[in-house]
Structure 1
Amino acid sequence: MNSRVTMGLAGLLLVAAVIVGYWGLVLSRQPLATEPVTPPVTVALEKTVASAEDQTRQAVVVLVHDVLPFTPLTAADLTLEKLRSAPGGSLNSLDQAVGRTPWRRLSAGTWLSNESFEAGGALARMIHSDERALAVAVDEVIGAAGQLIPGDYVDVLLFLRQDAINTQHSAQIVIPAMRVLGVGEQFGLTNEGKPASPTASTDEKLKQDQRRIAARSVVLAVPEQLLSRMMLATQVGTLRLAVRSSEEQLLAKYWAGESDSSTRLSSANSQLFQFNQLAQGIAPKTIVHTRTVEVSRRGIEVIRGNQVTQQTP
Protein backbone atom coordinates (compact mmCIF):
# COMPACT_ATOMS: atom_id res chain seq x y z
CA MET A 1 0.00 0.00 0.00
CA ASN A 2 2.74 2.41 0.82
CA SER A 3 4.52 1.62 -2.44
CA ARG A 4 1.40 2.52 -4.42
CA VAL A 5 1.07 5.84 -2.61
CA THR A 6 4.71 6.54 -3.23
CA MET A 7 4.35 5.75 -6.92
CA GLY A 8 1.29 8.03 -7.14
CA LEU A 9 3.09 10.94 -5.52
CA ALA A 10 6.05 10.41 -7.80
CA GLY A 11 3.77 10.55 -10.81
CA LEU A 12 2.15 13.76 -9.67
CA LEU A 13 5.52 15.36 -9.08
CA LEU A 14 6.66 14.29 -12.53
CA VAL A 15 3.58 15.83 -14.15
CA ALA A 16 4.06 19.05 -12.14
CA ALA A 17 7.72 19.20 -13.18
CA VAL A 18 6.79 18.83 -16.84
CA ILE A 19 4.18 21.60 -16.56
CA VAL A 20 6.58 23.95 -14.77
CA GLY A 21 9.34 23.23 -17.32
CA TYR A 22 7.03 23.92 -20.23
CA TRP A 23 5.84 27.17 -18.64
CA GLY A 24 9.41 28.30 -18.06
CA LEU A 25 10.30 27.51 -21.67
CA VAL A 26 7.37 29.60 -22.88
CA LEU A 27 8.30 32.53 -20.65
CA SER A 28 11.95 32.43 -21.76
CA ARG A 29 10.91 32.82 -25.41
CA GLN A 30 8.83 36.00 -24.73
CA PRO A 31 10.62 39.42 -25.39
CA LEU A 32 11.73 41.50 -22.44
CA ALA A 33 9.28 44.10 -21.11
CA THR A 34 9.74 47.41 -22.91
CA GLU A 35 8.23 50.87 -22.61
CA PRO A 36 4.72 51.15 -23.93
CA VAL A 37 4.72 51.88 -27.62
CA THR A 38 2.94 55.08 -28.59
CA PRO A 39 0.24 54.37 -31.10
CA PRO A 40 1.04 55.72 -34.56
CA VAL A 41 -2.09 57.89 -34.47
CA THR A 42 -0.85 59.72 -31.35
CA VAL A 43 2.60 60.31 -32.88
CA ALA A 44 1.09 61.77 -36.03
CA LEU A 45 -1.17 64.05 -33.98
CA GLU A 46 1.76 65.39 -31.94
CA LYS A 47 3.75 66.10 -35.10
CA THR A 48 0.81 67.95 -36.63
CA VAL A 49 0.36 70.14 -33.53
CA ALA A 50 4.09 70.91 -33.38
CA SER A 51 4.12 71.82 -37.07
CA ALA A 52 1.09 74.11 -36.64
CA GLU A 53 2.70 75.88 -33.67
CA ASP A 54 5.96 76.31 -35.61
CA GLN A 55 4.07 77.97 -38.46
CA THR A 56 2.43 80.48 -36.10
CA ARG A 57 5.75 81.44 -34.46
CA GLN A 58 7.67 84.43 -35.83
CA ALA A 59 11.36 84.56 -36.59
CA VAL A 60 13.49 87.07 -34.67
CA VAL A 61 17.19 87.85 -35.21
CA VAL A 62 19.11 87.33 -31.95
CA LEU A 63 22.79 87.77 -31.07
CA VAL A 64 24.70 84.58 -30.27
CA HIS A 65 27.40 86.36 -28.25
CA ASP A 66 28.44 89.84 -27.08
CA VAL A 67 29.30 92.33 -29.82
CA LEU A 68 31.59 95.34 -29.36
CA PRO A 69 30.60 98.76 -30.70
CA PHE A 70 31.66 99.74 -34.26
CA THR A 71 32.08 96.06 -35.20
CA PRO A 72 30.23 94.90 -38.35
CA LEU A 73 28.00 91.91 -37.71
CA THR A 74 28.61 88.59 -39.46
CA ALA A 75 26.39 85.55 -39.91
CA ALA A 76 28.35 83.81 -37.12
CA ASP A 77 27.16 86.50 -34.67
CA LEU A 78 23.48 85.90 -35.38
CA THR A 79 20.79 83.27 -35.16
CA LEU A 80 17.06 83.03 -35.78
CA GLU A 81 14.70 82.17 -32.94
CA LYS A 82 11.01 81.37 -33.32
CA LEU A 83 8.87 83.28 -30.81
CA ARG A 84 5.14 83.19 -30.23
CA SER A 85 5.08 86.98 -30.37
CA ALA A 86 7.86 88.97 -32.03
CA PRO A 87 8.85 92.27 -30.37
CA GLY A 88 7.77 95.35 -32.26
CA GLY A 89 10.29 96.49 -34.87
CA SER A 90 12.45 93.37 -34.54
CA LEU A 91 14.42 92.06 -37.53
CA ASN A 92 13.21 88.73 -38.95
CA SER A 93 15.95 87.90 -41.46
CA LEU A 94 19.71 87.49 -41.06
CA ASP A 95 20.27 89.51 -44.23
CA GLN A 96 18.74 92.54 -42.47
CA ALA A 97 21.56 92.52 -39.88
CA VAL A 98 24.65 91.06 -41.58
CA GLY A 99 27.18 93.80 -42.37
CA ARG A 100 25.53 96.48 -40.21
CA THR A 101 27.54 98.19 -37.46
CA PRO A 102 26.13 98.84 -33.97
CA TRP A 103 27.13 102.07 -32.24
CA ARG A 104 27.10 100.55 -28.77
CA ARG A 105 27.91 97.27 -27.05
CA LEU A 106 25.21 94.62 -27.48
CA SER A 107 24.90 91.60 -25.19
CA ALA A 108 24.30 87.98 -26.18
CA GLY A 109 20.61 87.15 -26.41
CA THR A 110 19.65 90.67 -27.51
CA TRP A 111 17.01 90.72 -30.24
CA LEU A 112 17.88 93.21 -32.95
CA SER A 113 15.90 96.07 -34.43
CA ASN A 114 16.79 99.17 -36.43
CA GLU A 115 17.30 101.04 -33.15
CA SER A 116 20.16 98.65 -32.34
CA PHE A 117 22.23 100.39 -34.99
CA GLU A 118 21.36 103.98 -34.11
CA ALA A 119 23.80 106.30 -32.32
CA GLY A 120 23.42 107.25 -28.68
CA GLY A 121 23.67 105.41 -25.41
CA ALA A 122 20.87 104.20 -23.17
CA LEU A 123 20.64 107.51 -21.29
CA ALA A 124 20.39 109.54 -24.50
CA ARG A 125 17.51 107.30 -25.60
CA MET A 126 15.57 107.92 -22.37
CA ILE A 127 14.87 111.63 -22.95
CA HIS A 128 13.11 113.73 -25.58
CA SER A 129 14.74 116.36 -27.78
CA ASP A 130 13.62 119.21 -25.46
CA GLU A 131 15.09 117.56 -22.33
CA ARG A 132 18.53 117.15 -20.83
CA ALA A 133 19.75 114.45 -18.43
CA LEU A 134 21.41 115.98 -15.34
CA ALA A 135 22.97 114.08 -12.43
CA VAL A 136 22.34 115.39 -8.91
CA ALA A 137 24.27 114.32 -5.81
CA VAL A 138 22.01 112.87 -3.11
CA ASP A 139 22.22 111.21 0.26
CA GLU A 140 19.71 109.30 2.36
CA VAL A 141 17.78 112.49 3.20
CA ILE A 142 17.88 114.24 -0.16
CA GLY A 143 17.05 111.02 -2.03
CA ALA A 144 13.84 110.22 -0.10
CA ALA A 145 15.47 107.67 2.22
CA GLY A 146 16.76 105.64 -0.73
CA GLN A 147 13.27 104.80 -1.98
CA LEU A 148 13.51 106.54 -5.36
CA ILE A 149 13.27 104.34 -8.44
CA PRO A 150 13.53 105.16 -12.16
CA GLY A 151 10.17 106.43 -13.40
CA ASP A 152 9.26 108.37 -10.24
CA TYR A 153 8.51 112.10 -10.44
CA VAL A 154 9.94 114.52 -7.91
CA ASP A 155 9.75 118.21 -7.05
CA VAL A 156 13.17 119.83 -6.60
CA LEU A 157 13.14 121.99 -3.46
CA LEU A 158 15.81 124.52 -2.52
CA PHE A 159 16.62 125.92 0.92
CA LEU A 160 18.70 129.12 1.21
CA ARG A 161 20.22 130.10 4.55
CA GLN A 162 20.28 133.63 5.88
CA ASP A 163 23.51 135.47 5.14
CA ALA A 164 24.79 138.93 4.31
CA ILE A 165 23.08 138.87 0.92
CA ASN A 166 20.04 136.75 1.74
CA THR A 167 18.35 138.71 4.50
CA GLN A 168 16.14 135.84 5.60
CA HIS A 169 15.79 132.08 5.27
CA SER A 170 13.88 130.98 2.16
CA ALA A 171 12.56 127.72 0.76
CA GLN A 172 11.06 127.24 -2.67
CA ILE A 173 10.23 124.72 -5.38
CA VAL A 174 12.90 125.29 -7.99
CA ILE A 175 11.45 122.92 -10.61
CA PRO A 176 8.33 120.77 -10.18
CA ALA A 177 7.68 117.31 -11.59
CA MET A 178 11.13 116.14 -12.66
CA ARG A 179 11.22 112.58 -14.03
CA VAL A 180 13.81 110.26 -12.45
CA LEU A 181 15.81 108.54 -15.19
CA GLY A 182 18.15 106.58 -13.00
CA VAL A 183 19.24 105.99 -9.43
CA GLY A 184 22.89 105.04 -9.08
CA GLU A 185 23.59 102.31 -11.66
CA GLN A 186 19.91 101.42 -12.12
CA PHE A 187 18.06 102.98 -15.06
CA GLY A 188 14.53 102.74 -16.39
CA LEU A 189 13.15 102.26 -19.90
CA THR A 190 14.26 103.92 -23.11
CA ASN A 191 11.88 105.82 -25.39
CA GLU A 192 11.33 102.55 -27.28
CA GLY A 193 10.09 100.89 -24.09
CA LYS A 194 13.15 98.66 -23.72
CA PRO A 195 15.16 98.27 -20.50
CA ALA A 196 18.16 100.60 -20.54
CA SER A 197 20.17 98.00 -18.62
CA PRO A 198 20.51 94.32 -19.64
CA THR A 199 18.03 91.93 -18.05
CA ALA A 200 19.53 90.56 -14.84
CA SER A 201 18.96 87.37 -12.89
CA THR A 202 17.10 87.27 -9.60
CA ASP A 203 20.31 87.45 -7.56
CA GLU A 204 21.64 90.31 -9.68
CA LYS A 205 18.36 92.24 -9.29
CA LEU A 206 18.66 91.88 -5.52
CA LYS A 207 22.18 93.31 -5.64
CA GLN A 208 21.01 96.17 -7.89
CA ASP A 209 18.25 97.06 -5.41
CA GLN A 210 20.79 97.14 -2.59
CA ARG A 211 23.07 99.42 -4.60
CA ARG A 212 20.11 101.62 -5.53
CA ILE A 213 19.22 102.18 -1.88
CA ALA A 214 22.82 103.22 -1.15
CA ALA A 215 23.18 105.31 -4.33
CA ARG A 216 24.75 108.76 -4.09
CA SER A 217 23.51 110.18 -7.39
CA VAL A 218 20.19 110.57 -9.20
CA VAL A 219 19.76 111.43 -12.89
CA LEU A 220 16.81 113.72 -13.70
CA ALA A 221 15.20 114.68 -17.02
CA VAL A 222 15.28 118.49 -16.98
CA PRO A 223 13.53 120.66 -19.60
CA GLU A 224 16.10 122.54 -21.64
CA GLN A 225 14.85 125.99 -20.64
CA LEU A 226 15.18 125.12 -16.94
CA LEU A 227 18.63 123.55 -17.14
CA SER A 228 20.65 126.60 -16.02
CA ARG A 229 18.26 127.22 -13.12
CA MET A 230 18.68 123.63 -11.98
CA MET A 231 22.46 123.91 -12.21
CA LEU A 232 22.53 127.09 -10.11
CA ALA A 233 20.23 125.54 -7.54
CA THR A 234 22.63 122.65 -6.99
CA GLN A 235 25.44 125.10 -6.15
CA VAL A 236 23.95 127.77 -3.89
CA GLY A 237 21.77 125.96 -1.37
CA THR A 238 20.47 122.69 0.05
CA LEU A 239 18.32 120.52 -2.21
CA ARG A 240 15.53 118.09 -1.37
CA LEU A 241 13.70 115.74 -3.73
CA ALA A 242 10.01 115.44 -2.86
CA VAL A 243 8.31 112.41 -4.44
CA ARG A 244 5.02 113.05 -6.22
CA SER A 245 2.03 110.69 -6.05
CA SER A 246 1.58 108.00 -8.71
CA GLU A 247 -2.11 108.96 -8.85
CA GLU A 248 -1.12 111.95 -10.98
CA GLN A 249 -0.35 109.52 -13.83
CA LEU A 250 2.54 111.70 -14.98
CA LEU A 251 4.44 108.75 -16.41
CA ALA A 252 1.44 107.70 -18.48
CA LYS A 253 1.20 111.21 -19.90
CA TYR A 254 4.91 111.20 -20.66
CA TRP A 255 4.71 107.96 -22.65
CA ALA A 256 1.66 109.35 -24.44
CA GLY A 257 3.87 112.17 -25.71
CA GLU A 258 2.19 114.94 -23.76
CA SER A 259 4.84 117.60 -23.16
CA ASP A 260 4.22 120.06 -20.32
CA SER A 261 7.57 121.88 -20.29
CA SER A 262 5.97 125.29 -20.80
CA THR A 263 3.48 124.62 -18.01
CA ARG A 264 6.26 123.61 -15.64
CA LEU A 265 8.23 126.71 -16.58
CA SER A 266 5.29 129.02 -15.79
CA SER A 267 4.59 127.15 -12.56
CA ALA A 268 8.22 127.34 -11.46
CA ASN A 269 8.38 131.06 -12.19
CA SER A 270 5.20 131.79 -10.25
CA GLN A 271 6.42 129.91 -7.16
CA LEU A 272 9.86 131.49 -6.89
CA PHE A 273 10.68 133.45 -3.75
CA GLN A 274 13.91 135.46 -3.59
CA PHE A 275 15.23 133.41 -6.49
CA ASN A 276 17.72 136.16 -7.33
CA GLN A 277 19.99 134.34 -4.85
CA LEU A 278 20.52 131.73 -7.56
CA ALA A 279 22.34 134.38 -9.53
CA GLN A 280 24.99 134.28 -6.78
CA GLY A 281 23.60 137.32 -5.01
CA ILE A 282 23.27 139.51 -8.08
CA ALA A 283 19.85 141.09 -7.90
CA PRO A 284 17.98 141.74 -11.12
CA LYS A 285 18.47 145.15 -12.55
CA THR A 286 15.83 147.61 -11.54
CA ILE A 287 14.49 149.76 -14.32
CA VAL A 288 14.36 153.38 -13.17
CA HIS A 289 12.18 155.69 -15.18
CA THR A 290 13.72 159.16 -15.40
CA ARG A 291 12.60 162.26 -17.21
CA THR A 292 14.88 164.35 -19.31
CA VAL A 293 15.83 167.59 -17.63
CA GLU A 294 17.03 170.38 -19.85
CA VAL A 295 20.00 172.10 -18.26
CA SER A 296 20.95 175.56 -19.36
CA ARG A 297 24.53 175.76 -20.39
CA ARG A 298 26.52 178.85 -19.56
CA GLY A 299 28.69 180.43 -22.27
CA ILE A 300 32.40 181.11 -22.10
CA GLU A 301 33.65 184.68 -22.13
CA VAL A 302 36.26 185.36 -24.80
CA ILE A 303 38.20 188.67 -24.46
CA ARG A 304 39.90 190.00 -27.52
CA GLY A 305 41.39 193.41 -26.82
CA ASN A 306 38.55 195.67 -25.89
CA GLN A 307 35.90 193.18 -27.21
CA VAL A 308 34.14 190.66 -24.95
CA THR A 309 32.01 187.89 -26.53
CA GLN A 310 30.07 184.84 -25.20
CA GLN A 311 30.66 181.45 -26.93
CA THR A 312 28.80 178.26 -26.21
CA PRO A 313 30.89 175.10 -26.42
Structure 2
Amino acid sequence: MINLTKIIAAVLVLLALALGGYAWVLSRKAPPPPPAVASAGVAPAKASQAQTFPVVVATKPLPAGQAIPADALRVEQLTINPTGAFKETAPLAGRVPVIDLGEGSPLLEGQLVSGLALRIAEGERAVAVKADEVMGVGNKVQPGDFVDVFLMLKFDGKDIDRSQARLLLSRKRVLAFGSASIDGLPSKTDKNGNPQAQQQPRAEAARTAVLAVPVDDVNRLTLAENSGRLLLALRNPTDMSEPDPKLFAELPTALQPASPKRGEAPRAPLEGLDRAQAGLTAADFVTGGNPNALRALTAAARPTAAATGTSSGGNRGGLQVEVIRGDRSETVRY
Protein backbone atom coordinates (compact mmCIF):
# COMPACT_ATOMS: atom_id res chain seq x y z
CA MET A 1 0.00 0.00 0.00
CA ILE A 2 2.84 2.34 0.82
CA ASN A 3 4.54 1.52 -2.49
CA LEU A 4 1.38 2.37 -4.45
CA THR A 5 1.17 5.75 -2.78
CA LYS A 6 4.79 6.48 -3.64
CA ILE A 7 4.19 5.55 -7.28
CA ILE A 8 1.17 7.86 -7.58
CA ALA A 9 3.13 10.72 -6.02
CA ALA A 10 5.99 10.19 -8.46
CA VAL A 11 3.61 10.23 -11.42
CA LEU A 12 2.05 13.50 -10.22
CA VAL A 13 5.50 15.07 -9.83
CA LEU A 14 6.46 14.02 -13.35
CA LEU A 15 3.17 15.39 -14.71
CA ALA A 16 3.79 18.71 -12.98
CA LEU A 17 7.27 18.87 -14.43
CA ALA A 18 5.90 18.11 -17.91
CA LEU A 19 3.29 20.85 -17.59
CA GLY A 20 5.90 23.33 -16.38
CA GLY A 21 8.16 22.49 -19.30
CA TYR A 22 5.29 22.90 -21.76
CA ALA A 23 4.48 26.28 -20.26
CA TRP A 24 8.11 27.35 -20.60
CA VAL A 25 8.15 26.28 -24.24
CA LEU A 26 5.01 28.29 -24.96
CA SER A 27 6.56 31.38 -23.37
CA ARG A 28 9.51 31.14 -25.76
CA LYS A 29 7.37 31.22 -28.97
CA ALA A 30 6.85 34.28 -31.36
CA PRO A 31 4.59 37.20 -30.29
CA PRO A 32 0.86 36.69 -30.75
CA PRO A 33 -0.91 37.75 -34.00
CA PRO A 34 -2.28 41.15 -32.78
CA PRO A 35 1.15 42.78 -32.66
CA ALA A 36 1.84 41.31 -36.12
CA VAL A 37 -1.35 42.99 -37.43
CA ALA A 38 -0.28 46.29 -35.91
CA SER A 39 3.11 46.06 -37.61
CA ALA A 40 1.39 45.32 -40.90
CA GLY A 41 -0.60 48.55 -40.48
CA VAL A 42 2.59 50.60 -40.11
CA ALA A 43 3.79 49.68 -43.60
CA PRO A 44 0.80 51.26 -45.45
CA ALA A 45 1.19 54.38 -43.31
CA LYS A 46 4.80 54.73 -44.39
CA ALA A 47 3.82 54.07 -48.01
CA SER A 48 1.13 56.77 -47.91
CA GLN A 49 3.63 59.27 -46.49
CA ALA A 50 5.94 58.54 -49.40
CA GLN A 51 3.17 59.49 -51.94
CA THR A 52 3.22 63.23 -51.26
CA PHE A 53 3.84 65.98 -53.81
CA PRO A 54 5.33 69.48 -53.52
CA VAL A 55 2.58 72.00 -54.27
CA VAL A 56 2.66 75.81 -53.97
CA VAL A 57 -0.11 77.16 -51.72
CA ALA A 58 -1.11 80.62 -50.56
CA THR A 59 0.01 81.71 -47.10
CA LYS A 60 -2.65 84.44 -46.98
CA PRO A 61 -5.76 85.44 -48.96
CA LEU A 62 -4.98 86.55 -52.52
CA PRO A 63 -7.54 88.98 -54.01
CA ALA A 64 -8.35 88.77 -57.70
CA GLY A 65 -6.73 91.35 -59.97
CA GLN A 66 -3.76 92.07 -57.71
CA ALA A 67 -0.19 90.88 -58.23
CA ILE A 68 0.89 88.02 -55.97
CA PRO A 69 3.73 89.02 -53.59
CA ALA A 70 6.58 86.56 -53.15
CA ASP A 71 6.04 86.29 -49.38
CA ALA A 72 2.45 85.09 -49.89
CA LEU A 73 3.53 81.68 -51.20
CA ARG A 74 5.03 78.52 -49.77
CA VAL A 75 5.61 74.94 -50.87
CA GLU A 76 3.78 72.20 -48.97
CA GLN A 77 3.85 68.43 -49.27
CA LEU A 78 0.32 67.34 -50.17
CA THR A 79 -1.13 63.90 -50.80
CA ILE A 80 -2.73 65.24 -54.00
CA ASN A 81 -1.12 66.65 -57.13
CA PRO A 82 -3.75 68.86 -58.85
CA THR A 83 -3.53 69.43 -62.59
CA GLY A 84 -1.79 72.74 -63.30
CA ALA A 85 -0.19 72.99 -59.86
CA PHE A 86 3.23 74.61 -59.35
CA LYS A 87 6.23 73.09 -57.56
CA GLU A 88 8.19 76.33 -57.11
CA THR A 89 7.21 79.80 -55.94
CA ALA A 90 9.56 81.77 -58.23
CA PRO A 91 7.40 81.59 -61.40
CA LEU A 92 4.35 82.83 -59.48
CA ALA A 93 5.69 86.06 -58.02
CA GLY A 94 3.96 88.94 -59.79
CA ARG A 95 1.29 86.79 -61.46
CA VAL A 96 -2.34 87.90 -61.07
CA PRO A 97 -5.20 85.59 -60.00
CA VAL A 98 -8.52 85.82 -61.80
CA ILE A 99 -10.49 84.73 -58.71
CA ASP A 100 -10.10 85.27 -54.97
CA LEU A 101 -7.91 82.58 -53.39
CA GLY A 102 -8.06 81.72 -49.72
CA GLU A 103 -5.20 80.92 -47.37
CA GLY A 104 -3.85 77.42 -47.94
CA SER A 105 -5.34 77.12 -51.42
CA PRO A 106 -3.12 75.45 -54.05
CA LEU A 107 -2.31 77.77 -56.94
CA LEU A 108 -3.24 76.40 -60.37
CA GLU A 109 -2.40 77.70 -63.84
CA GLY A 110 -6.09 78.05 -64.73
CA GLN A 111 -6.61 80.43 -61.79
CA LEU A 112 -4.10 82.99 -63.09
CA VAL A 113 -4.31 85.65 -65.79
CA SER A 114 -2.85 84.41 -69.08
CA GLY A 115 -2.96 85.20 -72.80
CA LEU A 116 -2.22 88.48 -74.56
CA ALA A 117 -2.71 90.49 -71.38
CA LEU A 118 0.69 89.27 -70.17
CA ARG A 119 2.38 90.36 -73.40
CA ILE A 120 1.41 94.03 -73.06
CA ALA A 121 3.91 96.40 -71.49
CA GLU A 122 2.90 98.91 -68.83
CA GLY A 123 1.20 101.91 -70.43
CA GLU A 124 0.17 99.95 -73.53
CA ARG A 125 -3.19 98.63 -74.67
CA ALA A 126 -4.05 95.88 -77.13
CA VAL A 127 -6.25 97.36 -79.89
CA ALA A 128 -7.81 95.44 -82.77
CA VAL A 129 -8.23 97.04 -86.18
CA LYS A 130 -9.83 95.70 -89.33
CA ALA A 131 -7.42 93.94 -91.66
CA ASP A 132 -7.43 92.60 -95.20
CA GLU A 133 -4.83 91.34 -97.64
CA VAL A 134 -3.75 94.82 -98.78
CA MET A 135 -3.74 96.37 -95.34
CA GLY A 136 -1.78 93.41 -93.90
CA VAL A 137 1.07 93.41 -96.48
CA GLY A 138 -0.46 90.60 -98.47
CA ASN A 139 -1.15 88.61 -95.28
CA LYS A 140 2.59 88.40 -94.65
CA VAL A 141 2.36 90.08 -91.26
CA GLN A 142 3.03 87.69 -88.37
CA PRO A 143 2.56 88.04 -84.61
CA GLY A 144 5.66 89.61 -83.11
CA ASP A 145 6.42 91.76 -86.16
CA PHE A 146 6.83 95.53 -85.93
CA VAL A 147 4.86 97.73 -88.30
CA ASP A 148 4.27 101.39 -89.11
CA VAL A 149 0.62 102.41 -89.34
CA PHE A 150 -0.19 104.80 -92.19
CA LEU A 151 -3.50 106.61 -92.70
CA MET A 152 -5.18 107.40 -96.01
CA LEU A 153 -7.79 110.12 -95.49
CA LYS A 154 -9.87 111.41 -98.39
CA PHE A 155 -11.03 114.99 -97.99
CA ASP A 156 -13.60 114.78 -100.78
CA GLY A 157 -14.28 112.25 -103.50
CA LYS A 158 -13.96 114.98 -106.15
CA ASP A 159 -11.04 116.78 -104.62
CA ILE A 160 -8.21 114.26 -104.59
CA ASP A 161 -5.56 116.97 -104.16
CA ARG A 162 -6.72 117.65 -100.61
CA SER A 163 -6.61 114.00 -99.50
CA GLN A 164 -4.13 113.02 -96.80
CA ALA A 165 -1.70 110.14 -96.44
CA ARG A 166 0.47 110.26 -93.35
CA LEU A 167 2.29 108.17 -90.82
CA LEU A 168 -0.02 107.66 -87.87
CA LEU A 169 1.91 105.37 -85.51
CA SER A 170 5.49 104.17 -85.77
CA ARG A 171 7.07 100.83 -84.79
CA LYS A 172 4.07 99.18 -83.18
CA ARG A 173 4.23 95.51 -82.20
CA VAL A 174 1.75 93.07 -83.71
CA LEU A 175 0.23 90.93 -80.95
CA ALA A 176 -2.09 88.95 -83.21
CA PHE A 177 -2.93 88.76 -86.88
CA GLY A 178 -5.98 86.76 -87.84
CA SER A 179 -6.14 83.56 -85.79
CA ALA A 180 -2.42 83.58 -84.90
CA SER A 181 -1.13 85.37 -81.79
CA ILE A 182 2.15 85.66 -79.92
CA ASP A 183 0.85 83.63 -76.97
CA GLY A 184 0.16 80.62 -79.20
CA LEU A 185 2.22 80.77 -82.37
CA PRO A 186 1.47 77.90 -84.76
CA SER A 187 4.30 75.44 -85.28
CA LYS A 188 6.33 75.88 -88.45
CA THR A 189 7.33 72.18 -88.52
CA ASP A 190 5.27 69.02 -88.85
CA LYS A 191 5.38 66.03 -86.51
CA ASN A 192 8.41 64.67 -88.37
CA GLY A 193 10.35 67.90 -87.95
CA ASN A 194 9.98 68.95 -91.58
CA PRO A 195 9.40 72.66 -92.28
CA GLN A 196 5.88 73.64 -93.31
CA ALA A 197 4.85 76.35 -95.72
CA GLN A 198 4.42 79.75 -94.14
CA GLN A 199 0.94 80.16 -95.68
CA GLN A 200 -0.51 77.01 -94.11
CA PRO A 201 -1.36 78.56 -90.70
CA ARG A 202 -3.29 81.29 -92.60
CA ALA A 203 -5.56 79.36 -94.87
CA GLU A 204 -8.27 81.92 -94.05
CA ALA A 205 -7.71 85.60 -94.75
CA ALA A 206 -7.11 87.63 -91.62
CA ARG A 207 -9.89 90.04 -90.68
CA THR A 208 -8.31 91.72 -87.67
CA ALA A 209 -4.88 92.80 -86.51
CA VAL A 210 -4.17 93.41 -82.82
CA LEU A 211 -1.51 96.02 -82.08
CA ALA A 212 0.18 97.09 -78.85
CA VAL A 213 -0.47 100.83 -78.69
CA PRO A 214 0.41 103.40 -76.00
CA VAL A 215 -2.77 104.35 -74.20
CA ASP A 216 -2.54 108.04 -75.19
CA ASP A 217 -2.41 107.02 -78.89
CA VAL A 218 -5.54 104.87 -78.81
CA ASN A 219 -7.74 107.89 -79.55
CA ARG A 220 -5.78 108.69 -82.71
CA LEU A 221 -5.97 105.09 -83.91
CA THR A 222 -9.70 104.93 -83.24
CA LEU A 223 -10.44 108.16 -85.11
CA ALA A 224 -8.18 107.13 -87.97
CA GLU A 225 -9.88 103.77 -88.48
CA ASN A 226 -13.32 105.35 -88.49
CA SER A 227 -12.34 108.29 -90.70
CA GLY A 228 -10.12 106.71 -93.35
CA ARG A 229 -8.20 103.65 -94.37
CA LEU A 230 -5.29 102.17 -92.42
CA LEU A 231 -2.25 100.55 -93.98
CA LEU A 232 0.38 98.48 -92.18
CA ALA A 233 3.97 98.83 -93.39
CA LEU A 234 6.18 95.93 -92.30
CA ARG A 235 9.58 96.96 -90.96
CA ASN A 236 12.76 95.25 -89.83
CA PRO A 237 12.64 94.69 -86.05
CA THR A 238 16.21 96.01 -85.70
CA ASP A 239 15.20 99.33 -87.27
CA MET A 240 14.67 101.55 -84.22
CA SER A 241 14.08 104.84 -86.06
CA GLU A 242 10.97 106.80 -85.12
CA PRO A 243 9.75 110.33 -85.94
CA ASP A 244 10.70 113.15 -83.61
CA PRO A 245 7.53 114.27 -81.78
CA LYS A 246 9.11 117.64 -81.00
CA LEU A 247 8.86 118.65 -84.68
CA PHE A 248 5.06 118.72 -84.60
CA ALA A 249 2.61 120.58 -82.40
CA GLU A 250 0.50 118.48 -80.07
CA LEU A 251 -3.14 118.12 -81.02
CA PRO A 252 -5.56 119.95 -78.73
CA THR A 253 -7.75 117.75 -76.58
CA ALA A 254 -11.52 117.60 -76.72
CA LEU A 255 -11.74 118.15 -72.96
CA GLN A 256 -9.70 120.92 -71.39
CA PRO A 257 -8.17 120.40 -67.93
CA ALA A 258 -9.43 122.54 -65.11
CA SER A 259 -7.49 125.74 -64.49
CA PRO A 260 -5.20 125.65 -61.42
CA LYS A 261 -6.49 127.42 -58.36
CA ARG A 262 -4.95 130.63 -57.13
CA GLY A 263 -1.53 129.96 -55.69
CA GLU A 264 -1.17 126.56 -57.36
CA ALA A 265 1.66 125.85 -59.78
CA PRO A 266 0.74 125.39 -63.44
CA ARG A 267 -0.20 121.85 -64.25
CA ALA A 268 2.07 119.71 -66.40
CA PRO A 269 0.89 118.72 -69.88
CA LEU A 270 -1.51 115.82 -69.99
CA GLU A 271 0.03 112.41 -70.53
CA GLY A 272 -0.98 108.77 -70.54
CA LEU A 273 -4.45 108.00 -69.23
CA ASP A 274 -5.16 111.68 -68.50
CA ARG A 275 -4.55 112.63 -72.13
CA ALA A 276 -6.50 109.60 -73.33
CA GLN A 277 -9.50 110.67 -71.24
CA ALA A 278 -9.24 114.23 -72.57
CA GLY A 279 -9.80 112.79 -76.08
CA LEU A 280 -9.57 114.27 -79.57
CA THR A 281 -12.04 115.79 -82.01
CA ALA A 282 -12.22 114.60 -85.60
CA ALA A 283 -11.73 118.17 -86.91
CA ASP A 284 -8.51 118.66 -84.92
CA PHE A 285 -7.32 115.21 -85.92
CA VAL A 286 -7.82 115.98 -89.63
CA THR A 287 -6.34 119.49 -89.59
CA GLY A 288 -3.67 118.94 -86.97
CA GLY A 289 -5.38 121.42 -84.65
CA ASN A 290 -4.68 124.35 -86.99
CA PRO A 291 -7.67 126.76 -87.01
CA ASN A 292 -6.48 128.37 -90.27
CA ALA A 293 -6.40 125.00 -91.98
CA LEU A 294 -9.90 124.29 -90.70
CA ARG A 295 -11.20 127.60 -92.14
CA ALA A 296 -9.46 126.92 -95.47
CA LEU A 297 -10.98 123.45 -95.69
CA THR A 298 -14.38 124.85 -94.75
CA ALA A 299 -14.18 127.52 -97.43
CA ALA A 300 -13.09 124.96 -100.02
CA ALA A 301 -15.98 122.70 -99.05
CA ARG A 302 -18.67 125.35 -99.65
CA PRO A 303 -18.54 125.26 -103.46
CA THR A 304 -18.63 121.48 -103.42
CA ALA A 305 -21.63 121.41 -101.11
CA ALA A 306 -23.47 124.01 -103.20
CA ALA A 307 -22.77 122.18 -106.46
CA THR A 308 -23.95 118.82 -105.17
CA GLY A 309 -26.90 120.24 -103.25
CA THR A 310 -26.08 118.10 -100.23
CA SER A 311 -26.06 120.98 -97.76
CA SER A 312 -29.28 122.34 -96.29
CA GLY A 313 -30.68 125.10 -98.54
CA GLY A 314 -27.47 125.13 -100.60
CA ASN A 315 -25.92 127.92 -98.47
CA ARG A 316 -24.48 125.95 -95.58
CA GLY A 317 -20.85 124.85 -95.88
CA GLY A 318 -18.55 122.85 -93.64
CA LEU A 319 -15.56 120.56 -93.47
CA GLN A 320 -16.17 117.41 -95.48
CA VAL A 321 -14.30 114.18 -94.90
CA GLU A 322 -14.96 111.00 -96.84
CA VAL A 323 -15.12 108.06 -94.44
CA ILE A 324 -14.27 104.69 -95.97
CA ARG A 325 -15.47 101.53 -94.22
CA GLY A 326 -14.58 98.51 -96.30
CA ASP A 327 -16.25 98.90 -99.67
CA ARG A 328 -18.61 101.63 -98.46
CA SER A 329 -17.95 105.35 -98.54
CA GLU A 330 -19.81 108.28 -96.98
CA THR A 331 -19.14 111.98 -96.50
CA VAL A 332 -19.06 113.43 -92.98
CA ARG A 333 -19.33 117.17 -92.35
CA TYR A 334 -18.21 119.15 -89.32
TM-score, length-scaled by structure 2: 0.41
TM-score, length-scaled by structure 1: 0.44
